[in-house]
Chain A
Amino acid sequence: MVNYMRAEFYKVFHRRYTYIFLLVLLACEGLLVAGWAFTNANGNDVGFDFGAGVLAMMLSVGLYCTVLTGDLVFSDQYKFNTLKNEVSYGLSRLRIYLGKLLVSCITALVLCAVIIATYVGMCWLVLPHDMATAGQTLSNLGFCLLVALPVWLGCQALVMMFFFLLRSNTVASFLIVGVIMAVPQVLKLLGAMVHPVFRYAYNVMLTPVLDAAPNMVGDWRLVGFACAVGAGWFLMSTAIGVVIFRKREIN
């Protein structure tokens, strides 16, 4: 497994895609912070607390980023037919599945750390800050990230399941976005119009937990609930993915 993961990291860090993906996200962050600095120069008052606090409002963006980190690791295996090189050498399908899943999770965490640290650093450097409130802002942000991390990892497992099960990464990506974005809205509607049981299903979807985080800072039950939701999605997606991938034809 260690060799398998090392090889996956070798591939990920020998792709331009990885660096372009990172640079584009960092550039977007830079533009956002620069924009605020520009408005400040014209009489506005956007401080570090607001700038860093925006991250807590954008936790759902992390769910969509898992599609990119998944694609980064899975690398269109079906399109390039490269899985046959792995199974024909006797690597077990379980090892292949779990190896790619773990590498995608670690890659996502590393990129996430770089992106968040850079953003917070830029806000600190460019926007006016008050030492007294900055600590509280960072603490709140840390809490929101604690809620978000397990949910993001659960989503990463879902992404990998779709990539392993569907031949087309494009179709898989659309389905993932559907599960992240559309399914909760449908369940919410059904909960209101058909039966309350759909409301419970809505609560264990990926986005509602993240949406609740900024309003429930300090409530550690939310962290526990997020861990349960994340673990549930992670284990369920992985179990389904492994079972189906074991019998999958590699063409």
Chain B
Amino acid sequence: MAEGVLVTRNLTKRYGPFTAVDNVNLNIEKGQIYGLVGRNGAGKTTIIRMVTAQTVPTGGEVELFGATAPADLSRMRARTGAMVETPSFYPYLTARENLEYYRIQRGIPGRGCVDEVLNFVDLAKTGKKKFKNFSLGMKQRLGLALALMDHPDLLLLDEPINGLDPEGIVEFRNILLDLNREQGTTILISSHILSELANLATHYGFIDGGHMLEQISAKVLAEKCRACIELSVDDAAKAAQVLEQAMGVRDYEVLPGQVIRLYCHLDEPARVTQTLVEGGVALRSIEQKGANLEDYYLGLIGGVRHG
């Protein structure tokens, strides 16, 4: 059984009458890149803030590396690296001084790790430039450097690519993929930029209005979102036979309710229709289906909300 790195049970946060996070159950296992998907205000940041002790849950439980007791949780947090919202550092210190401050504070031995991680995020040559004079991209990279400094087993990243230019986004993605593949780092990444998450995540959690709508692996999601022609017919068994014989169709599935999904001949709907009619099958409807992550999420939350 895979090791549960981060588990939440009925995690809840209320601010007066407003419930920001409502009984959320997360389960992130070792080695996963878990994409937390939701619009602004869905509760993504609040979940991460509860996991990182920045805010106290109103109810429920956080389990990190198997620990749930407050003192144990504190110790386990030292195995995590976090970048929550905008990276924050002392503006009057340089990148190296800021990281050195946190290195001393965290009791990480050896100054080498500061240079190592600055090289890793390409900030080694910033010299005496103070944090207050950094560009947003540089600030994001310094935030990542801090999160990575102690070689964390779990990375918690909240909207980490906000403000990065396209080149920066690619670099950032590659860094995360390398960490995951080479060091086995588990990553929780929240974002509303779904196209970017689609390039990274191995698992997804879809959240809206503080509720966890669905947790799904990228593999299952890909299956669900796979492009197909969906046919509704009077006799699905006969239709399958006709298609196999006349068109050599092999990649299809028969669903309940006399529905067939074809995963081939996607660009030949007219030929499919003609073949079925000639084979004596009554076609009720034909529809091209398939979705990307964005469509899937919008489908879950019931479409785009206006106003």
Cβ contact of B78, chosen from A6, A8, A16, A89, cutoff 8 A: A89
**Distance in Å: Cβ of B13 to nearest Cβ of chain A:** 10
B56: chain A residues at CB < 8 Å are 247, 249
Contact with B along A158-194 (1 / 0, CB 8 A): 0000000000000000000000000000000000000
Is A11 in contact with B78, judged by CB distance below 8 angstroms?
no
Is A3 in contact with B104, judged by CB distance below 8 angstroms?
yes
Assess A90 versus B74: contact at CB under 8 Å? Given A10-B104, A82-B90, A250-B55. Answer: yes
A137 within 8 A of B: no
A126 within 8 A of B: no
Q: Which residues of B70-99 are within 8 A (CB) of A?
A: 73-78, 80, 82, 84, 86, 88-93, 97
B159 within 8 A of A: no
Is A249 in contact with B55, judged by CB distance below 8 angstroms?
yes
Is B77 in contact with A88, judged by CB distance below 8 angstroms?
yes
| Alpha-carbon separation in the docked complex, A77 to B38 (Å) | 29
Is B93 in contact with A11, judged by CB distance below 8 angstroms?
yes
Cβ contact of B75, chosen from A11, A84, A90, A247, cutoff 8 A: A90
Is A85 in contact with B146, judged by CB distance below 8 angstroms?
yes
A86 within 8 A of B: yes
Is A90 in contact with B101, judged by CB distance below 8 angstroms?
no
Q: Please classify how large the interface on chain B is, using the bins under 10, 10 to 19, 20 to 34, 35 or more.
A: 20 to 34
Chain A, Cβ-Cβ closest to B74 = A90
Is A16 in contact with B92, judged by CB distance below 8 angstroms?
yes
**Distance in Å: Cβ of B115 to nearest Cβ of chain A:** 17
A87: chain B residues at CB < 8 Å are 52-54
Contact with A along B170-194 (1 / 0, CB 8 A): 0000000000000000000000000
| Alpha-carbon separation in the docked complex, A11 to B100 (Å) | 9
Contact with B along A108-145 (1 / 0, CB 8 A): 00000000000000000000000000000000000000
Contact with B along A73-104 (1 / 0, CB 8 A): 00100001110111111111000000000000
B91: chain A residues at CB < 8 Å are 80
B52: chain A residues at CB < 8 Å are 84, 87-88
Chain B, Cβ-Cβ closest to A93 = B53
The residue among B49, B52, B105, B107 with the most chain A CB atoms within 10 A of its own CB is B105
Q: Which residues of B146-172 are within 8 A (CB) of A?
A: 146, 156
Assess A7 versus B101: contact at CB under 8 Å? Given A82-B90, A87-B52. Answer: yes
A10: chain B residues at CB < 8 Å are 100-101, 104
A195 within 8 A of B: no
Cβ contact of A88, chosen from B84, B90, B97, B104, cutoff 8 A: B84
| Alpha-carbon separation in the docked complex, A47 to B84 (Å) | 60
**Distance in Å: Cβ of A75 to nearest Cβ of chain B:** 6
A64 within 8 A of B: no
A198: chain B residues at CB < 8 Å are none
B55: chain A residues at CB < 8 Å are 249-250
B106 within 8 A of A: yes
| Alpha-carbon separation in the docked complex, A250 to B48 (Å) | 12
Contact with B along A218-251 (1 / 0, CB 8 A): 0000000000000000000000000000010111
Measured CB to CB, the residues of A under 8 A from B are 3-4, 6-8, 10-11, 14-17, 75, 80-82, 84-92, 247, 249-251
